[in-house]
Amino acid sequence: MGKRDELIARYADDLKNKCGMVPDMDLLTKVTIGCGPAIYDADASTVAASQDGEIETVKKNFLIKKLGLMDGPELTAAINTAMDTYGRSERNKYRAVVYYMLTKHFGKESVYR
């Protein structure tokens, strides 16, 4: 099992046990691959929910650029919902897990098909 496969298994575990979701493994794998080399970097692989700049990065680089959504308050609300689902007290909120939840939230799975 390669490093990426180990990370995908960890992300699936977080979705099941911390977020109460049954992950679509095909989609999770594609979202993880879409994150690129960031998944291997300790800092870049997580989302710092308490930093406004980090929330803006998720909004601009993922929701607007990757998923093609229009900017608006619903984007920030969706990010906050994802953070609440993951658990605000959870120290490591993996970027791939957050992106997966946001992709599902907006019904944008087709971006990865």
Identify the band that residue 63 occupies on the pLDDT scale cut at 50, 70 and 90. very high
pTM: 0.96
- What is the residue extent of each domain of the chain? 3-112
CB of 23 closer than 8 Å to CB of 63: no
Dihedral in degrees, nearest 10, Cα atoms 100, 102, 105, 108: -80
In this model, does residue 1 exceed pLDDT 80? no
Region 47-55: mean pLDDT is: 91
Structure-block tokens of residue 76: 């920030």
In this model, does residue 36 exceed pLDDT 90? yes
In this structure, CATH architecture of domain 3-112: Orthogonal Bundle (1.10)
